[in-house]
Amino acid sequence: MKTNKAIYQRATKVLTGGVSRNTIFRKPHPVYVAKAKGSYVTDVEGIERIDFANNMASLIHGHAHPAIIEAVTEQMHRGTAFTVGTEAEVLFAEQMIARSASFERMRFVNSGTEAVMTMLKTARANTDKPKIAKAEGAYHGTYDYAEISQTSHPGNWGITSSPNANRVVDGTPKGAIDDVIIFPFNDVTRTLNILDRYADEIACVLIDPVPHRIGLLPASHEFVEAVYKWTRAHNALMVFDEVVTYRVNYSGAQESYNVKPDLTAMGKMIGGGFPIGALAGRKELMEVLDPRGKILRHPHSGTFSANPISTTAGRVAMELFDHEAVSTLNALSMKAVEQIREVVRLADIPVSVTGAGSMFRIHLKPEKPTTYREAYQPKEEKQLVNELLDYMFLEEKIMMINTCACMLATTITQHEIDRLSEGLFNGFKLIKPKLEKLLTVSI
């Protein structure tokens, strides 16, 4: 029988660190999948686990959904990628534009990172300005200008009224760092003061409406409306990263707000389990990508962009994620949060829960954080989070995201929610003495 350890030993001889993405690495070795169905994943050693991570929020209907498999298999027999167009791209764009009021034109790409990158470049092309403004701690993929300050910590983040722009990768050009303006999420007064300092240079203000890395905290209506008003006054765009958050409502998290973004980047779950990204927004803004223009201000292409496999899978997945499915999944997520909060009360442990839609995150803090700096996990706290996650994974056979978050799929039922609650109760009892000691020391 194959073992996870043996496969990893082979992997280290051909893959740097034995992995191609660091998120799957775990000590002493990663786990390798043999098969998956619905919300259950079985590894090569035959161990079955409930999946609450869903490939970092990208599997809205769990694993191997029959309708998606059927549609993709049919398309595969006709071909997978071409140097000509396919109707699959058109059908999917028609569906998404009908779904979201702020979408007038679209472009498909291959990942959320690429979608955000294309969106920022489109904003620059429209405004002829270089700088990007983004929230401290927010994750927007791996594009140089999007990743700045996503890993800021107490040793380098500076004062709240003027957070530092910090590199993530060694060797990031100083020019890229200087062209990113950092503001404190949901802090209207400080954010507007910061934006005002660079008003003539800012192309767009980039907002994740429920930023996972900041703490899975929804952007307040006041904050979004203030940013929108500021961008109208200063020839800038308000752009949303909905790569993770489009699942929050039928038309994305933006459905919750009175004002709408000029451009929206998407990815993850709109691909139905296949690699995808998308940019959508106002017609006149998207025209900078139009090859029919006299001057092409933003040349844009991609070998696998809008491939018929991803667009077919995405279209079917989004058809299945209709109003009823969204409502049912969000209600189940709310039920899960209620049960976890009850478990927290029964375990008498200083833990809080945040989230929106079908996503929630557990914080080893007595009060719900409201900012990135409040949600920040010092080394000792992160070690406890990892201990809890390892216990859940190894003993309770439950998979969660490495921030102690869950992103639900429509294949989750009350049975799995009960398993999660029971597992967390046991896990909380395990870490409670260490957490209480940690909090006592920090006070």
Task: List active site positions.
Answer: 139, 241, 268
347 is written with which tokens? Answer: 């375990």
CA angle 398, 379, 206 (to 5 degrees): 80
394 is written with which tokens? Answer: 């190894």
Phi, psi of 202 (to 5 degrees): -85, 120
Q: Directed axis angle between helix 221-233 and helix 188-197, to 10°?
A: 20
Q: Any bridge partners for residue 207, and if so which?
A: 240
| Omega before 30 within 30 of 0, i.e. cis | no
Strand pairing class (277-281; 352-356): unpaired
131 is written with which tokens? Answer: 């700088």
Residue of 170, 252, 168 lying closest to 208 (CA atoms): 252
Q: Give me the sheet containing 359-363, strands edge to edge.
A: 352-356, 359-363, 405-407
Tokens 């999420």 correspond to what residue? 185
Q: How many CB atoms lie within 10 A of CB 358?
A: 27
Q: Give the ranges where 128-261 is alpha helix by DSSP (H).
A: 144-147, 174-178, 188-197, 221-233
CA angle 184, 223, 113 (to 5 degrees): 65
